């Protein structure tokens, strides 16, 4: 819906790790109708915006521009003038060498209302993730941040290298890799000591972060020899010596491991965040998409009749959410669910049920359908009990068949279905270009649809399965199972991956 008056937020996306987006930035994205985003913005951040939003890529990579700065300014003005809420998502902080000042000026000149949401800059976060504090009481009280990529049209574009050299303290350079050799030569000429410690931090705060250290007189050649290129932050000063002691991120158990997550986009965030927090270069490779059931009317009728059943069984968090969205579309009070008792497969499902202020009466210690049947048998006879099974349309028929065989009267409420993800995404392109160390599979449908996509990575990968049912599907479709979670949950899968890499 078009607003009567448009607005533009210039939002700092942070340095690369999506977890470093501010809460206000996330809130702005959630209300966006147009998102204009840069090359260095994490693709995960776009999920915070509504699906109905218009997404416009305006990135610059290695000097190549999709849109000129003037075109970007005009685009923001035109979209806001049409009454839309525009979010200009910019890497790092909009006002720190991000040309946000120019965009804000253009908006102000055009009479467009705008707001600024500061972001975490790689000038601070990059060194921090490399174990380098940019200030420290023992190493000086100055911090200088400068750009190595100047506007050559300025009347005096040349950096004041003498002032930089004699300022003392720490110097942090952004966007200077292309001119690193020239800049270092000037610093040496103007008196910076050749043994000054320097750190170059590439793809800072992400699982593919790389850090290269060396003395000032050698660092440019070292970078050239190994092909160390942009995007990178450079830190000059004695604080670099602290990295040896404070290198916390690059010592994480999964640091540098490229891991593809095949869950649907809506489900992937929990696993992505857990892997990323352990240092992994985790990315979405969605092979499935969650869709409504084919017969929504039948599903809604069963939801409305829940109070008539003795037991309600949930097999996944998706089923819980879909069920209660339908339930509260019919009823306004959770007590309308009646005296039905509730069973859940897995702690994540149980936790989601409790989020609706309901208790779980039965949860087996193993998180598979077979264990649910055993748990019922140990607790009671199910003969003549009315059981409503809220599940995916793709789930195995085992639970219904076994409970029916034991005498229960079972109805299936097909809450949702998983379908192959047909939309191409950044993760698919990345997987085909770069491959992955591990591909995670959290259900049989993720495996089956992975095969359907016919993706061709450049090299072999290891598989990580959430449990035996998924593992059987992997084996049936010709994959080896390299990792299988003992506890069939997302935390269990993450633990199994860590143990795999920790093994001698």
Distance CA 164, CA 145 (A): 10
- What pLDDT sits at residue 4? 54
Q: What is the dihedral of CA 108, 111, 113, 115, to 10 degrees?
A: -10
Query: What are the catalytic residues?
Result: 38, 60, 175
pLDDT of residue 141: 83
Q: Write down the pLDDT at residue 427.
A: 84
What pLDDT score was predicted for residue 3?
A: 44
Rounded Cα distance, 408 and 411, in Å = 10
| Interacting residues of 70 by C-beta distance below 8 A, sequence separation 6+ | none
Contact between 147 and 121 (Cβ < 8 Å): no
Given this model, what pLDDT does residue 413 score? 95
Helix (H) or strand (E) holding 65: strand 64-65
Contact 392, 416 (CB under 8 A): yes
Compute the C-alpha angle 257/258/263, nearest 5°: 125
**Look-up: residue for tokens 């702005």?**
28
448 token code pair? 């089956």
Residue 367 is given by DSSP the state -
Domains and CATH numbers, the chain: 7-119 (3.40.1010.10), 124-246 (3.30.950.10), 258-287+421-502 (3.40.50.10090), 291-420 (3.40.50.10090)
pTM score of the predicted model: 0.83
β pairing state of 483-484 and 462-465: parallel
Tokens of 20: 């470093």
- Diameter of the chain measured on Cα atoms: 90
The three-class DSSP label of residue 207 is: coil
pLDDT computed for residue 65 by the predictor: 66
Q: Residue 2: what pLDDT? A: 43
Distance CA 422, CA 66 (A): 26
Report the alpha-carbon distance of residue 38 to residue 57 in Å, rounded: 6
Taking the chain (504 residues) in runs of 10, the rounded mean pLDDT of each run is: 75 95 98 94 90 89 74 96 97 94 96 97 98 92 89 64 91 95 95 97 96 98 96 97 97 95 78 93 89 93 97 94 96 95 94 96 91 94 96 89 96 90 79 93 92 86 95 96 94 97 85
* pLDDT given at position 140: 76
Q: Which element (helix H / strand E) includes 115?
A: strand 114-117
Helices assigned H by DSSP within 227-367: 243-246, 265-277, 296-304, 317-330, 347-354
Pairing between strand 288-291 and 409-420? antiparallel
Contact 93, 115 (CB under 8 A): no
Task: Name which of 277, 308, 106, 285 is nearest 207 in CA terms.
Answer: 277
Look at residue 279 in the predicted model and tell me its pLDDT.
95
């Amino acid at each position: 819906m078009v607003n009567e008056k448009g607005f533009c937020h210039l939002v700092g996306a942070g340095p690369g790790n999506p977890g470093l987006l501010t809460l206000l930035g996330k809130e702005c994205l959630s209300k966006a109708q147009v998102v204009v985003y840069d090359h260095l913005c994490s693709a995960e951040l776009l999920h915070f915006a509504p699906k109905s939003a218009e997404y416009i890529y305006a990135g610059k990579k290695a000097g190549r521009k999709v849109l000129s700065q003037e075109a970007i300014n005009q685009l923001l003005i035109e979209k806001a003038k049409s009454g839309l809420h525009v979010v200009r998502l910019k890497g790092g902080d909009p006002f720190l060498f991000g040309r946000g000042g120019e965009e804000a000026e253009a908006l102000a000149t055009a009479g467009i209302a705008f707001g600024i949401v500061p972001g975490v800059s790689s000038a601070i976060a990059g060194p921090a993730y490399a174990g380098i504090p940019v200030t420290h009481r023992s190493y000086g009280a100055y911090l200088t941040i400068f750009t190595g990529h100047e506007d050559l049209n300025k009347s005096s574009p040349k950096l004041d290298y003498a002032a930089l050299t004699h300022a003392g303290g720490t110097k942090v350079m952004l966007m200077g890799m292309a001119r690193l050799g020239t800049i270092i030569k000037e610093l040496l000429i103007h008196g910076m000591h050749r043994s000054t410690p320097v750190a170059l931090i590439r793809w800072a705060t992400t699982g593919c972060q790389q850090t290269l250290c060396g003395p000032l007189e050698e660092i440019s050649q070292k970078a050239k020899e190994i092909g160390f290129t942009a995007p990178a932050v450079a830190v000059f000063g004695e604080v670099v010596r602290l990295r040896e002691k404070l290198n916390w991120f690059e010592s994480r158990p999964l640091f540098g491991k490229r891991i593809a997550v095949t869950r649907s986009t809506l489900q992937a965030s929990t696993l992505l965040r857990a892997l990323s927090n352990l240092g992994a270069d985790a990315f979405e490779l969605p092979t499935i998409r969650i869709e409504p059931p084919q017969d929504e009317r039948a599903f809604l009728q069963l939801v409305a009749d829940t109070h008539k059943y003795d037991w309600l069984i949930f097999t996944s968090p998706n089923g819980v959410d879909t069920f209660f969205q339908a339930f509260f579309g019919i009823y306004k009070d959770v007590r309308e669910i009646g005296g039905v008792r509730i069973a859940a497969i897995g702690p994540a499902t149980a936790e989601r049920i409790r989020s609706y202020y309901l208790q779980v009466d039965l949860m087996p210690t193993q998180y598979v359908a077979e264990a649910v049947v055993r748990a019922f048998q140990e607790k009671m006879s199910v003969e003549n009990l009315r059981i409503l099974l809220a599940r995916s349309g793709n789930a195995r028929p085992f639970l219904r068949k076994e409970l029916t065989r034991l005498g229960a009267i079972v109805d299936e409420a097909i809450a949702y279905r998983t379908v192959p993800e047909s939309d191409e995404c950044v993760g698919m392109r990345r997987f085909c270009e770069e491959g992955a160390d591990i591909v995670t599979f959290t259900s049989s449908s993720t495996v089956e649809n992975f095969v359907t996509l016919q993706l061709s990575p450049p090299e072999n990968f290891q598989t990580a399965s959430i449990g035996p049912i998924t593992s059987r599907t992997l084996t049936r479709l010709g994959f080896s199972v390299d990792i299988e979670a003992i506890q069939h949950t997302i935390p269990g899968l993450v633990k199994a991956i860590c143990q795999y890499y920790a093994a001698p």
